Chain A
Amino acid sequence: MSSRRISPRPAFLMVPGIIALAFLVLPLLALLWQAPWGDITSIVSSPLALDALRLSLVTSLTATAFATVVGVPLAWLLAREVLPATRLVRALVIVPLLLPPVVSGVMLLSAFGRRGFVGQYLYSAFGIQLPFTTAGVVLAEAFVAMPFLIITLEGAFRSLDRRYEDAAITLGASSWTVFRRVTVPLIAPSLLAGAVLCWARALGEFGATITFAGNLPGVTQTMPLAVYSALESDRSAAIALSVLLLGVCVAVLVALRGYYLKGASA
C-alpha cells in the first residue's frame, strides 16, 4: 500500500507551483522595497489619505452589508432552484464578475445616472442623483462585488446536508426559524468567506467607481482612486497609500484566518 503513492514533491508540480508563488509575491515585495519608509507616516496620516481610507472602509463595509442582506437570500433561491430558469438567472448574476468594471460603471450610468432608465425618475421625483455621491460609490462597489458572495453562498447551500433542516421542520419549527437557527449556522464559515471576498473586491473597486461616481476627495475618492490620482503627480505618495491599503487587507486576513481557512476548505 505504501509503495505505490504519488511522490510528495513531484517536480512537475513543484516547479510551476514555485513560479506561481514567486509571481504573486514578487510585486508585493517590490512595493515594500520601493516604499518611502522615511515619509510614510506623514503621507499616510495626511488628511487626503485618511479621508480616502475612511471612505474606503465605510463604503466597502456598507456595500458588503447590503450584498449580504439581499445576496444570501438570492444564493439560497439559486441553490434550491426555486426560481424559473435558474441557469439563466445564475448566468446573469455572474455577469458583473466577468465584465470589465468600467463597463459595469457605464451600465450603472445607464440605469441610475441622471438621465438613466431609473435614475431619471429618482432625479425628477425626489431630486436624488447617485453619481458623484458616496451612495453612488456604495452602489458601484456592491454591483461589482456581490456576485462573489452569491456564488460562494450558493455552493454552501447546495452542499448542505438538508436532513438537519428536515428534522427541524419535523419538530415543528417555522421556515424562518429553521433558516435562522439551522441553515445559517451551518453555512456560517462560507458566509464569512463570501463576505470577506465580497468586501475585498469592494475595497479594491476602481473602474466602476470612477466611471459612475467620479473622483472627489472626501466624497467619492476611495483608496484605489487616491492611489491612481497620486500616481499622476507623486509616485512615492502612491506607493505609501498602496502600502496602507495592503496593511488593511493583511490585518483583516490575519484577524479572520481561522474562520476564513475553515470556510475556504468547507
Chain B
Amino acid sequence: MRRPRTALLALTLVAVIPGAFVGTQPVTAATAAPTGSITVSAAASLTDVFPVIAAAFQKRFPGTTVSFNFGGSSAIVEQVNAGAPVDVLATASEPTMWKAANAGHTGRPLLFAKNTMAIAMPAGNPAGITGLADLSRSDVLTAVCAVAVPCGTAARDLFATNGISVRPVTFELDVRGVLGKVMADEVDAGIVYVTDVRSAGSAVTSVAIPADRNVTTTYPIATVTDGRNPVTARAFVAYVRYSRSAQGILRAYGFAKPW
C-alpha cells in the first residue's frame, strides 16, 4: 500500500506552493460563501487548539458555527466510515486518515500539523523520572495509548527506536485518557504529545525526548464526502491548512509545520 502515501506526498508538495502565500484567501474562490453549521470530528490531541481555531474561523466567516466531536483517531474514523453526520475529519496520523479516504468517505486530505512525543509526569515527578530508560523500571507505572490510536503507535515505535522494554499498566483509548491518568497522579509517567504537556500547564511536568530519538506524527484534515455543508467544510479545511491565523494558533499550541 505505497500508493496512498505517494499521493499524499504529492499533495503536500502541491500544497507548498499556495503555502508560500499563507494568509491570502483560501483557495475556495468563486464558490458560495461559507455559512451555517458544521461538525468537525478531530483527534483527541486537538481538543484544546481546535476550538481556538474555530473561534477565529467563525470571526472570519460570520454566520458559521463549528462544533466538535473529539476522540481517538481510529474511533472517529470508524464513526465516519459508519456514516456519522460529520463534515470534516482531522486525525493524528496519516494511516488512520487513509482508512476513511481509501474507502471514499473523505475528500483529499491535507497535512496541516506535526507533533512529537514527550514523557509526562504528575507535578512533583514522584518516581523521579529523568528519561525514557526510567520507564522500564518495574516500580514505575506507565500509561500509554492503545496501538490502534496514533499516540499508541507512536509510543510503541518510541520504545522500539530506543531499544527499551516497557510494561504499561494501561492502554488508553485516546491521548487525553493518558494525560488524565497522569494528572490524577495515578500513574508515574505517560507517553503523550508535546502539545498535551503544554496544554496541561503546571498539572504535569515533563522530560523532553531528544529529537533524534523521538517519533513524529503528522495530522491530515479532509472534508467528509457525505457532509451536509460541503461549502463551509471546504472553507474550514482550507482555513486550517492555509490561513496565517490558524497556523499561528497551531504554532502557539506547540504544533510544528508538517512541510
Contact = CB atoms under 8 A, between A and B. Distances in A.
B141 A132 contact: yes
Can you list the 7 inter-chain pairs with the closest CB atoms, starting with the nearest? A214-B170, A232-B148, A233-B148, A132-B169, A232-B74, A115-B185, A131-B186
Interface in A203-255: 210, 214-217, 219-221, 228-229, 231-233, 235
Interface of B is mostly: loop
A210 B173 CA distance: 9
B101 interface: no
Given A215-B170, A215-B172, A231 B184 contact: no
B74 A233 contact: yes
Given A109-B186, A113-B184, A115-B184, A231 B171 contact: no
B interface, how many residues as a size bin? Answer: 20 to 34
Interface in B179-231: 181, 184-187
Contacts, number: 57
Contacts of B149: 232
Interface in A159-183: none
A235 B103 CA distance: 15
A232 B171 contact: no
Contacts of B185: 113-115
Nearest to A119: B186
A229 B78 contact: no
B148 A216 contact: no
A220 B146 CA distance: 14
Interface string A53-64: 000000000000
A113 B187 CA distance: 10
A210 B78 CA distance: 20
B26 interface: no
Nearest to A234: B148
A215 B186 contact: no
Contacts of A109: 184, 186
Interface string A117-142: 00000000000010110000000000
A190 B159 CA distance: 53
A213 to B, nearest CB: 8
Given A115-B184, A231-B78, A216 B169 contact: yes
A31 to B, nearest CB: 14
